[in-house]
Amino acid sequence: MTSPHAPRYSRITGTGSCLPPHKLSNADMVALLAARGIETSDDWIVERTGIRNRHFVADGVNASDLALVACRDALEAAGVKADAVDLIVVATSTPDMVFPSTASILQNKLGIHGCAAFDVQAVCSGFVYALTVADAMIKTGSARCALVVGSEVFSRILNFDDRTTCVLFGDGAGAVVLQESAVPGILATDLHADGRHVGILCVPGTVSGGQVIGSPLLTMDGPAVFRLAVGVLEGAARAVLDKAGRSEADIDWLVPHQANIRIMQSTARKLKLPLEKLVATVDAHGNTSAASVPLALDVAVKQGRIQAGDTVLLEGVGGGFTWGAVLLDY
């Protein structure tokens, strides 16, 4: 807790995650698509993306259910009781309902009531956006203890007749407890969007008059997203380093959005980071959109790789087109 006159910062004090138990290997995806007369292979998926496994939720399990488990895990790691939370921000593109927010549903499941709760929609950049918003609210005194969550059930919006997208995604959730602190914590943030590229990655359907109008399934121009992603991530990284007065050499860990190992390695190379500093979980989780960064962060913390005091660069990129970075001392 800070005195009223001391500079106010925010700091991650606990991480948590949740993967649904049903794991699908690439061999399972080959069989699933073969039953629909579509060909794919473990070799193609591994070589183009680095993905080997993903997890899918069972019927009836929603983003708020995965988020609840991840939040309880993060609260326990932080040693914080749920009733101390005064802000919940959930990043998701696969909410439980059109409204109310998944954050409100999650708040009720956590058994707490009254604190601010809302969703952030920035697709795969969602967690970086949510963390930036929560950091700003803590720095301005609007909140002291936030749950910042990325939770997705992308299996619900996949087109299993489209091999170019359905093999890429998985379900999961990651969460952090972000608390007021006299020392940083979050050092710098940098967010961007370019709406000219809405069409390259979208679920174009909407609900109107009791009907779904347009497709409710994910569509992506993969090569276009790939080109944009490799072009913007270095800039966001350099922006947060500049704002924080740090250099590439200060980065202990790069935790980027887990979409494609080739994009992640390209970013690491541009920042002159050895690949040992890259946290990669895409092989085990696939692309879990807004959940991918907090999931990877939690895995690296639980493995004891990310330690207190390490400087960590988080990066998101995805539909919108959106991208951004957060630099922090863990």
CA atoms 249, 51, 128, 12: torsion sign: negative
Whole-angstrom distance, CA of residue 86 vs CA of residue 110 = 12
CB of 91 to ligand ACO, least distance (A): 11
Instruction: Tell me which residues in 281-300 interact with ligand ACO (CB under 6 A).
Output: 287, 289
- Of 22, 23, 48, 277, the residue at the interface with ligand ACO (CB under 6 A) is 48
Catalytic residue among 124, 145, 166, 202: 124
- String of b and e for 219-239 (b: at least 16 CB within 10 Å)? bbbbeebbebbbebbbebbbb
Q: Considering beta carbons, is residue 75 or 157 the nearer one to ligand ACO?
A: 157
Whole-angstrom distance, CA of residue 168 vs CA of residue 45 = 8
Structure tokens at 144: 């002291």
The reply to whether 172 sits near ligand ACO by the rule CB under 6 A is: no
Instruction: Tell me which residues in 179-218 interact with ligand ACO (CB under 6 A).
Output: 201
The residue type found at 315 is E
CB of 323 to ligand ACO, least distance (A): 9
Catalytic residue among 145, 257, 260, 285: 257
Note if the bond before 185 is cis, omega within 30 degrees: yes
The single residue listed with the structure tokens 């999931």 is 295
- Of 70, 71, 259, 296, the residue at the interface with ligand ACO (CB under 6 A) is 259
5 noted as active-site residue: no
The reply to whether 163 sits near ligand ACO by the rule CB under 6 A is: yes
- Of 23, 44, 205, 250, the residue at the interface with ligand ACO (CB under 6 A) is 44
- Of 7, 79, 223, 235, the residue at the interface with ligand ACO (CB under 6 A) is 223
The residue ranges of DSSP E strands in the chain, in sequence order, are: 9-18, 23-25, 53-55, 87-91, 116-120, 145-153, 171-181, 186-193, 201-202, 206-208, 211-213, 219-220, 253-256, 311-318, 322-329
159 noted as active-site residue: no
The number of residues that bind ligand ACO (CB under 6 A) is 23
Helix (H, G, I), strand (E, B) or coil at 267: helix
The single residue listed with the structure tokens 């960590």 is 312
Q: Which residue is nearest to ligand ACO (CB)?
A: 318
Binding site for ligand ACO (CB under 6 A): 40, 44, 48-49, 123-124, 163-164, 167, 201, 222-223, 225-226, 229, 259-260, 263, 287, 289, 317-319
* Active site positions, annotated: 124, 257, 287
